[in-house]
Amino acid sequence: MPAIPGKHVVYFALQPPPETAAQIVALLADRRSAFGLTAKPISPDRLHVPLNAVGDFKRPPGPVIEKAVEAAKPVVAPSVDVRFDRVGSWAVGGGPGPIVLWGDQGPVADLYSTIHRALVKPGMAPRREPEMTPHMLLMNDVARPPETEITPIAWTAVDFVLIYAIPTENRFEGVETFSLNG
């Protein structure tokens, strides 16, 4: 069977603790009918804030994962205060689009920059840092709820994780967890 382009995905992320994931699930359940949402939400154990992309691959990226782990080991950064105070659709075009949480995320962006610098050294990222907006995907839905302020959902991230996913097979696993200092 031929490999599917982009089938294997590797990236760094922050994951909320279980109690915060439960708070997010409750928020989504509360807003579901008001927003006209009909799709299945992402499982609480898969909720995450994507940080730095390592890449999309046609085949299992074993050596790339090992190289990413080695690049991230020396990352030194303080714990990160994650805070989301908005929910809404980021959809463009037709069809289902992302329903996300987001907010002002200076500390998350700082960690993203620190990891980016670590990935540049072994040639795993371009020298120029891509822009990013810290967010958390909740689901993909055809509904287009407007940006809505919410009671902030917050936690202090004490680690970040390297994730290996195969979306077409519904696989999602944390490969390695890296502690933040502080």
Q: Which domain holds residue 41?
A: 8-83+106-133+157-179
Nearest to 165 by CA among 42, 4, 5, 7: 7
Decide if pLDDT at 3 tops 90: no
Residue 73 lies in a domain: yes
Residue 100 lies in a domain: no
Q: Residue 70 and residue 162: Cα distance in Å, rounded?
A: 11
Residue 38 lies in a domain: yes
Residue 162 lies in a domain: yes
Decide if pLDDT at 23 tops 50: yes
Q: Which tens digits make up the pLDDT trace of 158-176? A: 999 999 999 888 889 999 9
Token pair for 56: 């999309």
CATH code, domain with 28: 3.90.1140.10
How many domains does one find in the chain?
1
Residue 175 lies in a domain: yes
What pLDDT score does 164 carry? Answer: 96
Element housing 66 (H / E): helix 62-72
Nearest to 83 by CA among 104, 56, 98, 59: 104
What does the angle CA 51 – CA 48 – CA 67 come to, to the nearest 5 degrees? 45
Nearest to 101 by CA among 58, 151, 172, 62: 151
Residue 95 lies in a domain: no
pTM attached to this predicted model: 0.92
Q: Which tens digits make up the pLDDT trace of 94-152? A: 788 999 999 977 899 999 999 999 999 999 898 998 888 999 999 999 999 999 999 99
